[in-house]
Amino acid sequence: MKKDHETAFDDLCRHTRETALLAAAESALAWDERTMLPPAAAEFRSEQLTLLAGMLHARRTDKRIGEWLAILGDSPLAANLHDPSGTVIRELQRQYERRLKLPQSLVEELARTASLGQHAWEQARAKDDYGTFAPLLAKTFELKRAEADALGYQAARYDALLDDYEPGERTANVARVLASLREALVPLVAEIAASKKKPDISILQREFSLPAQETLARRGAEAIGFSFERGRLDVTAHPFCTTLGPKDCRITTRYDERFFSSAFFGVLHEAGHGIYEQGLPAEWYGLPPGEAVSLGIHESQSRLWENLVGRSRAFWQHLYPDAQKAFPAALGQTTLEEFYFAINDVRPSLVRVEADEATYNLHILIRFELEQAMLADEIPIADVPAAWNDKYEEYLGIRSHSDADGVLQDVHWSAGLVGYFPTYALGNLYASQFFVQAEKDLGALGPQFARGEFAPLREWLNKNIHQHGQCYSASDLVQKITGKPLSHDHLIAHLRGKLAPLYGLN
């Protein structure tokens, strides 16, 4: 006969998995809305999505979850925090408590402000008018303070918000690693900016026909191991990756006929996210052992394939002949070395989403430092644009003359996403540290890439990261895989190792 805790565990898993099935139906409709939906159908779709959101909310706050968890808390199934049953109980308990702590009135106020905020942000950005957005930004941070206080924290208020994206991570730890990264990166970027050696980036701005771009991007995604049997690639204005089921991962991109990099590297990036999703254990679909561990780890997978693999010389030793065949007019007379230098162009710029592999991290640092100060109420909202520009000058040596290309460029704060930005830089740091360990375990990867062999690396990532779902926190994973806590050293060594010879640095 089944014991009480075994029945409770089965019931909890069934309920949670069914919630995931419903959420996947919501995701399918949302994917369709962003890729295929005829304009006149938008209102009907919004009605469907609102209904589903209500149903999902009711299932996620079902009182029975608390009852099941109460039975399971001290049961043998919860004893091992890192095995699948312990992970189910630990993570669902964490999520359930988080929901209980937030008063319904605050949740609704946050949702309303995010909706108004995004609208105000779009308008303010179009008119380059920070003043009209400032009151909503102030309101957003006021509510995020209330949210953090309701959730509770030990050391820093920011911890409570960071926990939503990077569970278990601490602000102090992230701040320490990112400050070390900044100290090493600011001088490296300055040295590169001062170098007389520059790539010819006009190579990438020739004419690249869209069908040939799509063919090459698919070949790249397939080569690194994104399964088109279990996934699709479609076109959207803002690229993303979404999972609709254990064998159904959708990635999207946008094509620019006059810029090679946006679609090709965008597809490698999203395929990296997709390979992670496709590598999660399907038998735990919809439950914590079958889900990605954190945004930072997710981003480590996309950045690893996009940058550490996709911008390596070895990768292009394999694929460049195909690229030349696909674009004979644009690349036929361009050498591999010229192309390789162009795709590794590093230069300070104002806009995060267009930034290169190295300076990107400084864009993130600026946002991370500012949002901590805003959350702590250490900086008046009216002074944020000036503080933004001062930091760009200090870290990147450039200054924006418009707020549209400055403080108004990102959607995150207007949508109430505070604590999200550092996960992008964490992704780059995790990726480099994992890559170093993969080379220790698998031998030099460059020669493998040059032969078109990407499966050993993908299988290594699968075994060490994907298969664990949420059984280990991000920081535990880093420690378990590499034997060390997260450090800035590996990313700096990677960037210096690649960029110093290209730019003739010492």
SS (H, E, C) 207-219: CCCHHHHHHHHHH
253 binds Zn ion (CB under 5 A): no
Piece in contact with Zn ion (CB under 5 A), picked from 296-304, 370-378, 434-442, 473-481: 296-304
What are the start-end ranges of the E strands in 195-307?
231-235, 241-245, 248-253
From the list 300, 294, 256, 254, the residue with the least C-alpha distance to 275 is 300
* Alpha carbon distance 149, 161 (integer Å): 10
Closest residue to Zn ion, Cβ-based?
Answer: 302
Length of the chain equals 506
302 binds Zn ion (CB under 5 A): yes
Q: Cβ 449 to Zn ion, closest distance in Å?
A: 21
Piece in contact with Zn ion (CB under 5 A), picked from 39-47, 133-141, 274-282, 300-308: 300-308
Judged by DSSP in three states, 470 sits in coil
Calculate the alpha carbon distances from 427 to 158, 191, 193 in Å. 19, 24, 25
From the list 284, 303, 241, 269, the residue with the least C-alpha distance to 470 is 284
- Written as six digits, the tokens of 81 are 């925090």
CA end-to-end distance (rounded Å), the chain: 72
Specify the residue, 153 or 240, whose C-beta has the smaller distance to Zn ion: 240
Q: Cβ 163 to Zn ion, closest distance in Å?
A: 20
Amino acid at 181: L
- Written as six digits, the tokens of 321 are 């002949």
Q: Cβ 240 to Zn ion, closest distance in Å?
A: 8
Specify the residue, 159 or 169, whose C-beta has the smaller distance to Zn ion: 169
Specify the residue, 147 or 166, whose C-beta has the smaller distance to Zn ion: 166
Specify the residue, 305 or 392, whose C-beta has the smaller distance to Zn ion: 305
Among 270, 277, 299, 371, the active-site one is: 270
Piece in contact with Zn ion (CB under 5 A), picked from 127-135, 299-307, 372-380, 484-492: 299-307
* Alpha carbon distance 303, 227 (integer Å): 18
- Contacts with Zn ion: how many residues (CB under 5 A)? 1
Specify the residue, 269 or 313, whose C-beta has the smaller distance to Zn ion: 269
Q: Cβ 351 to Zn ion, closest distance in Å?
A: 16
428 binds Zn ion (CB under 5 A): no
Q: Cβ 158 to Zn ion, closest distance in Å?
A: 22
Specify the residue, 63 or 238, whose C-beta has the smaller distance to Zn ion: 238
Q: Cβ 299 to Zn ion, closest distance in Å?
A: 5
From the list 117, 16, 60, the residue with the least C-alpha distance to 410 is 117
Q: H-type helices in 376-473, by residue range? A: 384-396, 422-442, 446-450, 455-464
Amino acid at 187: P
Active site residue 453: no
E strand or H helix at 346: none
Q: Helices (H) and strands (E) in the chain — how many of each? A: 21, 3
Q: Cβ 353 to Zn ion, closest distance in Å?
A: 11
Specify the residue, 90 or 273, whose C-beta has the smaller distance to Zn ion: 273
Piece in contact with Zn ion (CB under 5 A), picked from 33-41, 294-302, 349-357, 453-461: 294-302
Piece in contact with Zn ion (CB under 5 A), picked from 78-86, 295-303, 341-349, 397-405: 295-303
Residues that bind Zn ion (CB under 5 A): 302
What are the residue numbers of the active site?
Answer: 270
